């Protein structure tokens, strides 16, 4: 059974729209993260949460907003989508600073 679930697997959106990427982990980890991987840039760290609190934010744009409704959930809301937002978004989790485990990713295409 998958331990980190990301939904949806593929997402196509129109420029200017808003989407929410879902991430749930069943590893009992306290920390969760979002990373982005695109053809133009290497894997980029976006956010980290620990015990549902924002720890680190490397995303300059406020269009990207993480949301943690439960301790094992960390969703990513993206507003006013742009074609440059097209990428695969990976959720990851870890326990008390140990190695991070990555989810399968959501591949977002913005037209």
Binding site for other proteins (CB under 8 A): 31, 33, 35, 42-45, 48, 50, 55-56, 58, 90, 94, 97, 99-105
Cα distance between the two ends of the chain: 33
Min CB(55)–other proteins separation in Å: 4
Place of tokens 């409704």: 69
Closer of 33 and 64 to other proteins (Cβ)? 33
CA distance 106 to 94: 19
Smallest CA-to-CA distance from 89 within 34, 42, 45 is with 34
- 106 neighbors 8 (Cβ within 8 angstroms): yes
Q: Write down the least CB distance from residue 17 to other proteins, Å.
A: 26
For other proteins, the closer CB: 1 or 99: 99
Nearer to other proteins, 63 or 102 (CB): 102
- Nearest-approach distance from CB 76 to other proteins, in angstroms: 16
The distance of Cα 49 from the centroid of its chain, to the nearest Å, equals: 11
């Amino acid at each position: 059974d998958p331990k980190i679930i990301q939904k949806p697997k593929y997402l196509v959106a129109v420029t200017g729209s808003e989407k929410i990427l879902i991430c749930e982990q069943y590893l009992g980890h306290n920390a969760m993260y979002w990373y982005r991987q695109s053809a133009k840039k290497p894997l980029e760290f976006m956010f980290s949460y620990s015990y549902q609190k924002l720890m680190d934010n490397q995303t300059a744009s406020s269009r990207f907003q993480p949301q943690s409704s439960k301790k094992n959930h960390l969703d990513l809301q993206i507003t006013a989508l742009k074609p440059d937002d097209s990428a695969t978004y990976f959720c990851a989790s870890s326990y008390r600073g140990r190695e991070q485990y990555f989810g399968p990713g959501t591949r977002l295409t913005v037209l």
